[in-house]
Amino acid sequence: MFGSIFDDCLLDPLGRNPLNSFRKNQALLAESPKVFKIKEGRKVKTPVAGYVLKKGIALASKWEGCPNKTLSNVVEEREIFTLSKSDGSFTATYEVLPERQGHLLVAHHPSSNGFALKRHMEVLREIFFGKLRLKLVWMRAAIPKNDHDLPMNTEDRRMDYVYYETPRGSEKRTRLFKTWLSVCRGAVPRDLLHQAENDALVWLTPHEVLKEKVREELNSVLPDPHPWSF
């Protein structure tokens, strides 16, 4: 009887449970801002020769408010940087976050040359962890919303699923996800470390001294064989 009375107290006159709305709002407030437009700005001093760096803004939507009330979807401006080669062979857009963190929004390499892509990502790695001294960079193996402006030179198979073996067992991820694991030295799947989306990765600084147990754990989630290890 007490359970029935308690349940009735949670219902509004239309029979809806406010707890469901509260939990939904909590989940929305926990979401990261979603960037939907990038505006390149003026050129700034480049941290590495052979590349052009521009400082601009990104427009991102996010939810604000209290979880027990109606939320508002607002748009905020975020400072971003775009690093590119003058010949258009590579472009990457990133932002620097508080607490020595970064966010790689877009990395575009239209060629199928994996060695060239790896060299570009090594340049980014030096910027993130050498010059900016970040401790980690958040990444997603997803197709950018403005991907129609970033044509591919070959058949687009980025979102095809592939199987690969790791010391921990078999994994099924997109081809793009596996590519980032291979060309970003220090990148690992986020959801094998803690709860995260299936396409999320985290790129870790090489300047952190890791305990042997931690190194083994990180290496266990990488494709086997792998071109690098912790």
Residue 39 has pLDDT above 70, yes or no: yes
> Which of 203, 207, 197 is closest to 138 using CA atoms?
203
Residue 5 has pLDDT above 50, yes or no: no
Q: Report how far residue 181's alpha carbon sits from residue 141's, in angstroms, rounded to the nearest whole number.
A: 10
Q: Report how far residue 214's alpha carbon sits from residue 46's, in angstroms, rounded to the nearest whole number.
A: 35
Q: What is the pLDDT of residue 9?
A: 41
Each residue of 88-120: pLDDT tens digit? 889 999 999 999 999 999 888 877 677 889 999
**Single pTM value for the model:** 0.78
Between 207 and 87, name the one with better pLDDT: 207
Q: What is the pLDDT of residue 1?
A: 40
Q: What is the pLDDT of residue 88?
A: 82
Could you tell me which residues are beta bridge partners of residue 170?
165
ω into 225 cis (within 30 of 0): yes
